Amino acid sequence: MHSTETVELPQSSTEHFRVISSLEKLIEETMKDLLPQGTEVALIDFPNHANVGDSAIWLGQKHLLRKLKLKDVFNCDWRTYEHRQMAGAITDRTVILLSGGGNIGDIWPEGQHFREAIIESFPRNQIIQLPQSISFSNVEKLETAKRVFNGHRNFTLLVRDKVSLNFGRDNFDCPIALCPDMAFQLGTLPRPQPPSTNTIYLLRSDKESLGYAEQARSIGVEPIDWLSETKEFERINRVVTGLWTPGQRLWRLFNFCIAPIYNMTAQARLARGLTILSKGKIIVTDRLHVHILCILMGIPHVVLDNSYGKVKNFINIWTKDSSLVHLADSLCEAKELASSLEKNSY
């Protein structure tokens, strides 16, 4: 348990700037070893869904490609991918970059199936899986992943935590390395607006939840999540990103437009998330990218874990020394920590 008697807010911003800078540099050093300047790459698996965290990853990856002066020649997502189109847009020298996140495993099968299809479909290309967390509970699906990963002659797997690193080393024969989450490439971020409430409880409402949202309501707290978008945004997104079925052929003819469209879509989603977080003086969450964005924005926050431990596994290796971060093992403990932080925020 973590003491909630005296919780102090960070005294200066220099400490969290240092955390961000060190993780940015570590990412750049890791990737420079894999991708020399001028390398042609295809960044694929755009996260075309409402989860703000995956958009933060995408934009961080795009920042990195520009920093390293790489040639990004092709982008797609799993729903609009067509093998013939991608094969015609790249060469055997193009390095395929699979977008990072937390979907290696069987919790989010669409992402895993797409990853495996790409690895099998492009045996001559170097393929790098950008930083991921790993979670398998189904033995057959793990065996499929082993066959696919181990069957490629030039596949590199980057992971975000030591638990995933050890799991990968035990199960896969490809090169594996630790690398922080790509959202840190966004660098420090300003609050879009001043806080308007004391504490926001942003808690998962999906398959990775441990039920904290339901528990929150039982103790008089109304949680929110960041998985919903306006109907207007959803309609526009379907048309401009090629998900509108009658427009898919046209979208493929004008594929050169998709990179800026993806970027604008991700930026809109990130802006929505930053606006939500900026409203609170304190944040309580079980989402990894709420934690990461709070670090980038300098917001004190209390962190609970998700269903398979990825949040605390990440914090334990990269951000546990930040005074912005306060770990809790239960919602009641998180509420106590948040109350203590509120008192010290005045």
Successive 10-residue mean pLDDT values, the chain, 346 residues:
38 72 97 96 96 98 98 92 92 98 95 97 98 97 98 98 98 98 97 95 96 94 94 84 65 72 95 97 98 97 97 97 95 96 76
139-147 contact pairs (CB < 8 A, 24+): 141/105, 141/106, 141/109, 141/112, 142/106, 142/171, 144/116, 145/104, 145/112, 145/116, 145/171, 145/172, 146/171, 146/172
Q: Can you give the pTM of this predicted structure?
A: 0.93
The pair of three-digit structure tokens given for residue 179, joined into one six-digit string = 């690398």
Give the per-residue pLDDT at 6: 38
Matching residue, tokens 């990072």: 100
Residues with Cβ < 8 Å from 177, sequence gap 6 or more? 30, 156, 157, 158, 159, 165
- What is the rounded distance in angstroms from the CA atom of residue 220 to the CA atom of residue 222? 7
Give the per-residue pLDDT at 253: 61
Domain covering 14-186 assigned CATH 1.10.150 in the classification: no
DSSP state of 338: H
Q: Which of 33, 40, 38 is nearest to 94 (CA)?
A: 40
Give the per-residue pLDDT at 255: 66
Give the per-residue pLDDT at 144: 98
Give the per-residue pLDDT at 79: 86
Give the per-residue pLDDT at 178: 98
DSSP state of 125: S
Domain boundaries, given as residue ranges, for the chain = 14-186, 197-344
